[in-house]
Structure 1
Amino acid sequence: MNKSLNRWQVIAASTAILLCTGAVYAFSVFANPLSSQTGWTMPQIMMAFTINSAIGPIPMILGGYLVDKGFVKWTIALGAFVFALGFFLTGFVSSPIMLYLTYGLMAGLGQGFAYSGALSNILRLFPDKRGLASGILTAGMGFAAVIASPIASYLIQSHDAKFAFRAIGLAYLIIVGLASFFIKPAPAGYKPEGWEPPAQIQNNGSINRNWLQMLKTPVFYIVISMFFVGAFSGLMIASQASPIG
């Protein structure tokens, strides 16, 4: 089974999917034109991005659980499809509530499932290159906005914001549909040919803890606070990147 599995094909397909789901970070390109087209205020428009960002981490937890249970392909494919469909349906919204359901809820849930599923599976497929593999996926997620922004700007200028959502969303539906065929789950205990896990090395002073013990350590709250500050400030800038630029 290991010999018939092309893990580079899987990471290419996973990255293609994340190049779609990462388009949420290009929302600032859509926000002002959508406000002008619909007459909704910018706070109303930006609430969709807030909901998307708040919802996204929740399915990441559930997605990791489903991957552990063997539902790798379903987690990634279904998440990617829900994201692309939510993006596409945003082009038909007629009220802020609809915007919150399509871009906020659907796209947020889909992105979380697709990302957690893809990352969990790829780390199992690349135990010898975990840093490289996770770096490729993360780069794909981040680079998505670089690709989506100029395309969205062109479509908005030539048509309007809702048309841009529909056109890009349709393209994403096609891409994730094709890429999903190449997603394969990592076999249990997968090891690349010719690679053996390194011997466990005990570092001086290091202690392995379970998650309950981890929550009792002060350093955990310092580290998690750093992550929160970094993530929140980054999302704040991403949501306003176009006006700032």
Structure 2
Amino acid sequence: MARMDVSTKRWIILILICCINLCAGSIYAWSVLSAAAAQELTVITGHLISAADLAIAFGVANSVGPIPMILGGAFNDRYGPRLVIITGGLLIGLGLCFCGWATSVTQIVIGYGLLFGLGLGLAYGAGISTAIKYFPDKRGFAGGLVTAVYGFSSVIVPPIAQVLTQHYGIMNTFVILGTVFALVIMFCGYFCERCPEDFNPLKKHGDEKTCIAVTGLTWRQMLSSPIFWPMIALLMCGAVSAMMILSQAASIAQNEIGMNATSAAAAVSTIAFFNMAGRLVAGTLSDKLGRIGVLMFGLIFAALGLIVLMNSGQGDYVLFYCGCILIGISFGTFMSIYPGFTADRFGAKHAGVNYGIMFSGFSVAGLMGPIIMQQMIANGMDFAACCQVGITFCVLGFVFALVYKSMIEHKKVQ
């Protein structure tokens, strides 16, 4: 693609990144894989092992994300995404294959939690930052599309994994998925090139001023900028309320609404679908209406969703599904907008590292949300009280959004 015009090449690279994220988003198939893996390990070890015993692997895979995103982002910002994505694909494949050869919980944690998690951070982080660099004029759209495809993986990979497990067994399924994902990610990554630093797709239209500059602040300058702190706090607050529900949606559906396992699974799929749709729609809208305004609507959607959920009782299927839809849209809004939002505010030149640091706000939320819910339930509080705490985070997020707007209006951006 070396001789191709950059304005044309960027669309091909965007498609390649979508293919990469479709494989990387397979982390959402863990609930299917872990249940079967627990059964297999029970047979291998002779000791009862449950899916809950393997939950630490999923937690580690999510929590290590910012580390490879930041380290890989530094390499990506300087040399381009090719080697970073290829390395990420290799680690994802090795991690899944290692799980296929595992004979203990510890080996699953090493394979899935560490190897897969590190590979995911490299491939996902490099892909996102590359997309927004190639689309300085449509950062919301580009970020929304690639994160929507990442979310779409949660719709198509679990049933595929289920079919493979039924025909070939869970351990062979790990190896099959690992091999396929590694080949696809590494192949697509090979053709992902670094975006030229002076690329501006609007120059030829005489509209250069409307395109955000590709230069920007280093991570040290970003951290010293007062505007960074309300931004990362806003991300954390927006994600905490969603992660409280997303982490336990199936059990909430069964315990609070009285759904059977099939209906509860459908509720989880509903959240996944509107999470995906919210990413694409919100990202595109943010290009036209502004990032912070759409994010504030995301907080409103989350608060309304929690209010609906806390007023849903036994048999209130419709209300519960409505609440799930609102939560899914809100979560998708934050995940799609923040890559472009970060580049808008701090520039695209160091977007790989900067977004990796910003993403740590989500990692904190991913840890806090489930813990808050579990601890409140363990201490005898009801589901409505949990929702009220989630709403409090939404309100707090709204405050940080207003602080951000005030700082921008007074030009306190550095």
Q: Same fold (TM over 0.5)?
A: yes
Bigger Rg over Cα: 2
CA shift in 2, pair 1:105/1:226, >3 Å:
same
Identity %: 29
Taking structure 1 as reference, are residues 238 and 153 closer, same or farther at Cα in structure 2, changes over 3 Å only?
Answer: farther
Structure 1 position 55, deviation (Å): 0.9
2:102 to 78, 93, 96: 93
Structure 2 unaligned regions, length at least 5: 43-48, 213-220, 254-260, 266-414
The one-letter code sitting in structure 2 at the alignment partner of 1:109 is L
Map of 1:56 onto structure 2: 65
Q: Which residue identity is paired with 1:214?
A: P
Could you tell me how far 1:53 is from its partner in structure 2? Answer: 0.9
Q: 1:112-151 maps to which residues of 2 (within 5 A)?
A: 112-151=121-160
Higher relative contact order (CA 8 A, sep 6+): 1
Aligned to 1:103: 112
> How far is the alpha carbon of 1:237 from its aligned partner?
4.2
Matches within 5 A, 1:9-88: 9-39=12-42, 40-88=49-97
Residue 205 of structure 1 is matched in structure 2 by none
Structure-to-structure mapping, 1:224-235, within 5 angstroms: 224-230=235-241, 232-233=243-244
How far did residue 44 of structure 1 move? 2.1
Separation (CA, whole Å) in 2 of partners of 1:42 and 1:108: 18
Q: In 2, distance between residues paired with 1:211 and 1:74?
A: 27
The 1:234/1:37 distance shift into structure 2, 3 A limit, reads same
Q: Give the match for residue 191 of structure 1.
A: 200
TM-score normalised by structure 1 residue count: 0.85
Q: Secondary structure of the equivalent of 1:183?
A: coil
Higher helix fraction (1 or 2): 2
Contact 1:31 1:42 in 2 (8 A): yes
**Contact 1:152/1:164 (<8 A) preserved:** yes
Query: Is the CA contact (8 Å cut-off) linking 2:23 and 2:153 kept in structure 1?
Result: yes
Change (3 A) 1:231 1:79: farther
Give the distance between the partners of 1:9 and 1:144, measured in 2 at CA: 20
What is the CA distance between 1:216 and its match in structure 2? 8.8
Name the SS of the counterpart of 2:226 in structure 1: helix
Structure 2 Cα separation of the partners of residues 131 and 181 of structure 1:
25
Contact 2:137 2:210 in 1 (8 A): no
Distance 2:210 2:87 in 1: 38
Amino acid at match of 1:129: K
1:172 is matched with 181
- The letter for the 1-side match of 2:209 is P
Q: Which residue is equivalent to 1:4?
A: 5
Q: Which one-letter code corresponds to 1:9 in the other structure?
A: I
The range that moved more, 121-130 or 34-43, is 34-43
Q: Verify the 8 A CA contact 1:121 1:186 in the aligned structure 2.
A: yes
RMSD, aligned CA: 2.8
Q: Is the 8 A contact 1:81 1:177 kept in 2?
A: yes
How far, CA to CA, are the matches of 2:228 and 2:5 in structure 1?
45
Whole-Å separation in 2 of the counterparts to 1:21 and 1:233: 23
Q: Which residue of 2 aligns with 1:204?
A: none
AA matched with 1:154: V
Counterpart AA for 1:148: V
Supply the distance in 2 between the matched residues of 1:238 and 1:49 (Cα, whole angstroms). Answer: 16
| Whole-Å separation in 2 of the counterparts to 1:77 and 1:31 | 26
- 1:214 and 2:226 matched: yes
Listed one character per residue, the Cα deviations across residues 153-184 of structure 1 (whole Å, up to 9, x for unaligned) are: 11112232112111111111221232123211
Q: Indicate the larger mover: 93-102 or 64-73.
A: 64-73
Q: Aligned equivalents of 1:153 and 1:188: distance in 2?
A: 44
Q: Residues 211 and 238 (structure 1 numbering): CA distance in 2 closer, same or farther, change over 3 Å?
A: farther
Q: d(CA) in 1 for partners of 2:5 and 2:118? A: 32
- Structure 1 distance, partners of 2:108, 2:250, is 16
| Secondary structure of the structure 2 residue equivalent to 1:188 | coil
Larger deviation, residues 14-23 vs 192-201: 192-201
Deviation at 1:144?
Answer: 1.2
> Contact (CA 8 Å) 2:82, 2:191: kept in 1 or not?
no
Measure, in 2, the Cα distance between the counterparts of 1:17 and 1:29.
21
Partner of 2:191: 182
Q: For residue 223 of structure 1, what is the aligned residue in structure 2?
A: 234
Aligned length: 237
Say if 1:94 and 1:80 are closer, same or farther in 2 by CA, change over 3 A: same
Secondary structure at 1:198 match in 2: helix
The unaligned stretches of length 5 or more in structure 1 are 202-208
Q: 1:213 to 1:178 in 2, by over 3 A?
A: closer
